[in-house]
Amino acid sequence: MQQPRTQLPLQVTVGDVTIEAEVADTEDERMRGLSNRDSLPQNRGMLFVFPEEGQWGFWMKDTRIPLDMIWAAADGTIVTIAKNVRPESYPAIYKPVAPARYVLEVNAGFAEAHALAEGMQLQQN
């Protein structure tokens, strides 16, 4: 996957669908994420971009909507999908099984509805 742009919306294709993704590529944006939102439009999400691959952990602190979390390596290969992560799961921390550089958060049920699986590719359009 190429280096994401900070212009919005960034289009990311995964499986058979294209998502308009807000980009969180600073520490402050990554910490804030999708917290304190009451909804997320269909086929929208947030792409978290880290400076390097790592075991980046996520939690649902102050997040009000259930999410699917999709971790991808630097080349865009999906390494882990956490499905239907609920707000009440806080303070549990979710991590990938292999190093990742990107995390795409979308509405819960998205991964299942589009048959997303580890090994598939996230691609920037």
Domain extents for the chain? 10-124
Q: Which CATH superfamily is domain 10-124 in?
A: Protein of unknown function DUF192 (2.60.120.1140)
Does pTM top 0.75 for this prediction? yes
Residue whose entry in the numeric block shows the structure tokens 């979308």: 106
pLDDT band at 125 (very low <50, low <70, confident <90, very high): confident
Torsion from C-alpha of 71, 34, 85, 10, nearest 10 degrees:
-40
The closest alpha carbon to 84, from 69, 100, 72, 99, belongs to 69
pLDDT over threshold 60, residue 5: no
> Residues 40-95: pLDDT tens digits?
999 999 999 999 999 999 999 999 999 999 999 999 999 999 999 999 999 999 99
